[in-house]
Structure 1
């Protein structure tokens, strides 16, 4: 008896490893209809029930392109025919003037919709179709933006958001493998024109920067970039744990103790200040290194400077031996 095409077998194995045993719990696959998420959905439809999971699907309609509602309906119809349930279409509205930009605003709206429906249906996990190539692109973008270890750690294979686990089963699988899996199963993926639109930084990395690196350094560079992210993720997780403990030791009524902050190693103090800024309400997508560096200057280079402006209209200042917020 002939088994499945090797690419199909690889995708199914990846889903099994990510999910483990399900005890009849629900997982939702986030599927745009592109090759990556379509191959993931097909693999989950096969492997999920065989490992004790109920598998549903959610497709987000960003309303950014003509025909997006028809595309969402096509994905939903395929999912229903594949036996997935529930099958959900989530329309979202993107503000073109959003300070995060169109990419950031669409991503934020997408994840809000995905998590809303996952919680509404008490799903144990959301499956996302990011690949090894996506991880390599993420590392390059982080390098270009001057990100620290947390940014260079890329996307985690698993992250808990409340009661929902965000899982990326295909993070170790090449994009070409997922395209082969679609072809082997007779699936026709949707080609998102945004993926080739060079107005977007990720599209330029995908079409130009990463292929240039592969040409110069060989095909192994994609996996090596992803491996770098995995190694940094381990280190960042450990430092984040130490920083969480340090944060509690720096807290005071209404702010942070300067002496306690100054005593911390640089790697922990920056993380503590970043956590504090987030707790104050600074939007994570807008909070950058320069904001944390300005907070750090209130601790390590104090010479009477004024308040530091943080995203979200927050102003932090030093008063005596404390960092406080107006």
Structure 2
């Protein structure tokens, strides 16, 4: 018997780990564009899931942004049916008119479609094909934005999205491995032209920045960037737990937060407390930035009688003696 090709074996092991421990009832769904990463993930899931007694379906999302996208979606669906996936869904989404840039709008539409299909079929998880290389790109983009620890933590291996678990089994698998696995399995992967379009920041990082880093520092830089994300994510989890406890202790019975309970906190913990509280008050998570949290922090640590801190969404916070409280309109 011929030995299993290492890339195929590595991806199957990653999928098995991701599926182990999920609730026994309900299928998993693979999000598959037809690119090498998601196609390798789908092929591995088609092999692993039945051996775990697990049903597996597949969803491909047509963003309608490129010529031939509908035909490509149907081709992916036809392959999925032959591979034994059920259910198989092709979902057309509307990207225009959504907030944010084109990448953000397409991502929002895609994830909404995935969670909708997951709920329709009672899926216990959706699997996506993000790889170690995607993680490295995410970390570099976060560094460039000055995003702080949350950005440097990159993409989590698991997150809840609209009540649906989203799993990323391949975050320790390189893009070269997914391409190699497709070649071994005889799968023809689609090359998304957006991945090489220089108008997108991620495409420039992929085509220019990462190759330059690998050339200067060696191929280990990709693993190191992905490892950094995992380490920072673990630190974030610990700090978030401390912040949850601190927030509960700082709440004023009449609403707002007690300043004396905040002053003695470590800055990293206090910042998280203020960030969570600002979101509770209605500040938009997407617009809430470092400067907003810093303005709240100044009311705690550098108060000289200054006026309220203005947060996104028209939220205003004022310090009254030893208490932070939202300003009531009118």
TM-score band, normalised by shorter chain: over 0.9
2:221 is the counterpart of 1:218? no
Q: How does 1:91-170 map to 2 (within 5 A)?
A: 91-96=92-97, 98=99, 100-161=100-161, 163-170=163-170
What is aligned with 1:33? 34
What is aligned with 2:204? 204
SS of residue matched to 1:294: helix
Structure 1: distance between partners of 2:111 and 2:284: 15
Count of aligned pairs between the two proteins: 325
Query: CA, structure 1 residues 31+282, in 2 after alignment: closer, same or farther (shift >3 Å)?
Result: farther
Please state how far the C-alpha of 1:274 moved relative to its aligned partner. 1.2
Query: CA, structure 1 residues 199+245, in 2 after alignment: closer, same or farther (shift >3 Å)?
Result: same
Q: Is the Cα–Cα contact under 8 Å of residues 21 and 53 in structure 1 kept in the other structure?
A: no
SS of residue matched to 2:202: helix
Q: Is the Cα–Cα contact under 8 Å of residues 21 and 51 in structure 1 kept in the other structure?
A: no
2:294 is the counterpart of 1:316? no
SS of residue matched to 1:181: helix
2:205 is the counterpart of 1:184? no
Deviations 1:99-126 (A, max 9, x none): x211122212222221222222221111
Please state how far the C-alpha of 1:313 moved relative to its aligned partner. 3.6
Please state how far the C-alpha of 1:260 moved relative to its aligned partner. 2.1
Deviations 1:128-166 (A, max 9, x none): 111011111111111111121121111111223465322
What is aligned with 1:194? 194
Please state how far the C-alpha of 1:54 moved relative to its aligned partner. 0.6
Q: Which moved more, 1:197-206 or 1:116-125?
A: 116-125
What is aligned with 1:260? 261
SS of residue matched to 1:129: coil
What is aligned with 1:83? 84
Please state how far the C-alpha of 1:97 moved relative to its aligned partner. 6.5
Q: Which moved more, 1:293-302 or 1:251-260?
A: 251-260
SS of residue matched to 1:53: coil
Please state how far the C-alpha of 1:319 moved relative to its aligned partner. 3.7
Please state how far the C-alpha of 1:91 moved relative to its aligned partner. 2.2
TM-score (norm 2): 0.92
CA RMSD of aligned residues (A): 1.9
SS of residue matched to 2:27: strand
Deviations 1:69-114 (A, max 9, x none): 222222111111111011112222223562x211122212222221
Please state how far the C-alpha of 1:207 moved relative to its aligned partner. 0.7
TM-score (norm 1): 0.93
Structure 2: distance between partners of 1:129 and 1:188: 16
List alignment gaps of at least 5 residues for structure 1: none
Query: CA, structure 1 residues 178+259, in 2 after alignment: closer, same or farther (shift >3 Å)?
Result: same
What is aligned with 2:70? 69
What is aligned with 1:307? 308
